Amino acid sequence: MTRPAGVLWDMDGTLLDSEKLWDVAVRELARAHGHEMTDEIRHALIGASGPNALRIMFTGLGIEPTPAALQAAGEFLERRVTELMTGPIPWRPGAVEALAMIRAAGVPTALVTNTKRSLTELALNTLGRSNFAVTVCGDEVPHGKPEPDVYLRAAELLGADPRDCVAVEDSVTGSAAAAAAGCAVLVVPCEIAVPAAPGLIFRESLVGLSMADLAAVCAAAEREPAARP
């Protein structure tokens, strides 16, 4: 394979510098429960689906995860992040140019995010809906990342084999999901470091990304068949 059949983009922390908005919301939520969010717990939330993130947060802070408390916390986060995402959201460096380059090359793209659909629609006002052939959100599949469901669904909608696609991710959770789906994985860390692992190719930023770079990611994945389903 000389070029990917599709490029599957994570959103928060990969295309958009939106993890900082989530940071505001989850720290406010912790304070509302009488706690200060530690960096360790905050880092564990990055890339997690909404339900998983709340469980991680409640457990880490010692808050009883009753159904009512979890529901209220989820509603708080959605309201607060909606407020924070109402205006333009900052892009990650090189993301605008990378999307344009891939579109110009005629390679199908998908947005693949753990963020729920209602919030993703707000982010798409910044991202541009025309940049993606399909979009898949964490609340549209049985299990969010780190399970592979969102990536498998995105590849299915593109009519592509996930093993012929490149996923672009910034987090440990997202990289694990993409690798479990069989994708070649390009990791561009944002808020936290991602440990090296078989099948993961790293890049400091999206600045200067080319089709040759994506082909190299595909080739590297093909050389490591044991790391892929």
- SS3 state at 96: helix
**8 A C-beta contact, residue 41 and residue 57:** yes
Q: Catalytic residue at 23?
A: no
Query: How far, in Å, CA of 209 to CA of 94, rounded?
Result: 8
Q: Catalytic residue at 39?
A: no
Token pair 């059949």 is found at 5
How far is residue 118 CA from its own chain's centroid? 16
Backbone angles phi, psi at 9, to 5 degrees: -100, 125
- SS3 state at 26: helix
| H-assigned helices in the chain | 19-32, 39-45, 50-61, 67-85, 95-104, 117-127, 149-158, 172-181, 211-222
Give the residue numbers annotated as catalytic, written as ranges: 10, 12
